[in-house]
Structure formats: structure tokens, C-alpha cells
Amino acid sequence: MCRHAAWLGTRQPLTSLIDEPEHGLLKQSYAPRHQRHGMINADGFGVGWYNEARAEPVRYRRTVPIWSDANLPALAQVARSHCLLAAVRSATAGMPIEETATAPFTEGTWLLSHNGRVARDALADLGEDLAARAESTCDAAWVAAAVFLRRRAGLDLGEALAEVVSRAGEKDPAARLNLLAADGASLAATVWGDTLFFHLDDRSGGVLVASEPLHDRPGWQAVPARSLLLVSPGGGVRVQPL
């Protein structure tokens, strides 16, 4: 099923999503508490963050379990940003295990992660030749390609996610379409088939969004099923139905 998390606010290191909190993505890779499908997320991981030295986000992806990458701890300590996104993967049966199938996917300033599964047939009419546009043959890469087509058409982050999830979910009633995306200035996420939580962090002035809580401090709020979550600069949070 996978797990993902993101931050928007003051500059934080990637460790704030991965191994600093007691239930960060490192722990969620082998002992998730709210995951409804699958028990372990060992089929790769990816991180993305924004740096003023370049227009596009920086991305690091591997096909190994997150706990086995000896380079990540040092990288996660020095990679700091006001906007972070990270994911650990549990590959859907039949989907390839390769870096190009691992979130986050990116185009321009956008980063995107998909937790879940969807029939690729349900995505086929969401854009011309998605098979050629997608990084990989996996369903998540097709979802990303469909979202990025809407970026090129001028839709904003939330509009792009909402349109793809609503249309694909109508075509495939068994789909699980939990998306998490960033553009460097805002976050957007969908809840469709699994869980999502957010936490307003008054101590550091920002918002955490995650498949499941990263720590046990009070303040985590569950996002209702079939909803779109929008996070704007300054800690603004809005939830609307899909």
C-alpha cells in the first residue's frame, strides 16, 4: 500500500519525516500502525525537497528498503527545506520494482506520491498516450502522468489531483487513490481508500501531512474519506469533499 508524508512551513531536515519522530517513515516501513493493505513497505523509497539553488525540486529514490540505505541518514540530516515530501513503497502485485516506479514522481516544480492501486484501464482516457508519458509501467507512474498533464493545462495542484482521482475512482470502484503532492509553495492530498492525517505544528510554524501520525503528540486530525486536503503557506488547511 505504501506510506507517505510531507511538510510545509519553516525549514526542517528530512529527518523530521524519516527517523526523528518515533513513528516516522523509517518505522512505518516495517511497522505501520494504520495501513489497511500490506504489512511492510520494503520495495523502495523516495524523498524530495526544494532548494533555492534550483527551480525544480531535488529528488533521491532507491529500490532498496529505506532501512538498508547507508547514505540516507547523513543526507537526511543536511537536506533542509520549507517543503519536504517522502514515501516508502509496498509494490502492488505485478508492478515493477524499479526507481522509475518509486515516488516521488516529478515534473517542473511538482512532486507527487501515490499510495494504493488502480487499474491502468481506468486511467487510459485521462490523457493521450499515458503509457509513453509515464516514467514506468506501474499504476502510480500513470497516475502521476495524468496529474502532470493537468499541470500543463493550467490546473492548480488541488484541481489536478481532484480531477484525476474522481475520474479514475469512478472507472475503478476498487481503486485506492491516496495522493500527496507539493509544488514548493503548497501541499495537496486526497483520501480515497486509506487513511490520511494532518498536524498543525505551532512550535515550528507549519503543517505535517502523513498517511498516519508520525508521533504521539496531541493534535493529529484524520481527514474524512473521499476528501481533498489543501495546505497553503502560513499553515492554512482546508478540507473539501471529492
Residues 195-214 pLDDT 10s: 999 999 877 779 999 999 99
Rounded Cα–Cα distance for residues 38 and 95 (Å): 15
CB distance 89 to 138 below 8 Å: no
Residue 180: which of 1, 37, 3 has the closest Cα? Answer: 3
Residues 77-96 pLDDT 10s: 999 999 999 999 999 888 88
User: Element (H or E) spanning 86, and its range?
Assistant: strand 80-88
The residue whose grid cell reads 511497522 is 31
Q: What length is written for the chain? A: 242
Confidence at 1, pLDDT banded by 50, 70, 90: low
Rounded Cα–Cα distance for residues 149 and 152 (Å): 5
Q: Per the structure block, which three cell numbers stand in for 170?
A: 469512478
Residues 9-30 pLDDT 10s: 999 999 999 999 999 999 999 9
pLDDT at 44: 96
Question: Which residues are catalytic, by number?
Answer: 2
Residue 29: which of 47, 13, 8 has the closest Cα? Answer: 47
Confidence at 222, pLDDT banded by 50, 70, 90: very high
**What are the structural domain ranges in the chain?**
3-241
The pTM (predicted TM-score) of the whole model is 0.96
Count Cβ atoms below 10 Å from residue 93 Cβ, excluding itself: 5
Q: How far is CA 192 from the centre of its chain?
A: 13
Rounded Cα–Cα distance for residues 61 and 112 (Å): 13
Q: How far is CA 236 from the centre of its chain?
A: 19
Residue 170 in this model has a pLDDT that exceeds 90: yes
Residues 107-148 pLDDT 10s: 999 999 999 999 989 998 898 888 899 999 999 999 999 999
Task: Kindly report the CATH number that applies to the domain delimited by 3-241.
Answer: 3.60.20.10
Rounded Cα–Cα distance for residues 15 and 127 (Å): 36
Classify 206 as helix, strand or coil: strand
Q: Which residues pair with 48 in a beta bridge?
A: 59, 85
Q: Angle at CA 194, nearest 5°, toward 190 and 195?
A: 75
Rounded Cα–Cα distance for residues 200 and 205 (Å): 8
- When the pLDDT of each residue in the chain is averaged and rounded to a whole number, the result is 95
- The whole-number average pLDDT for the span 34-56 is 92
pLDDT at 179: 98
Count Cβ atoms below 10 Å from residue 154 Cβ, excluding itself: 8
Residue 233 in this model has a pLDDT that exceeds 80: yes
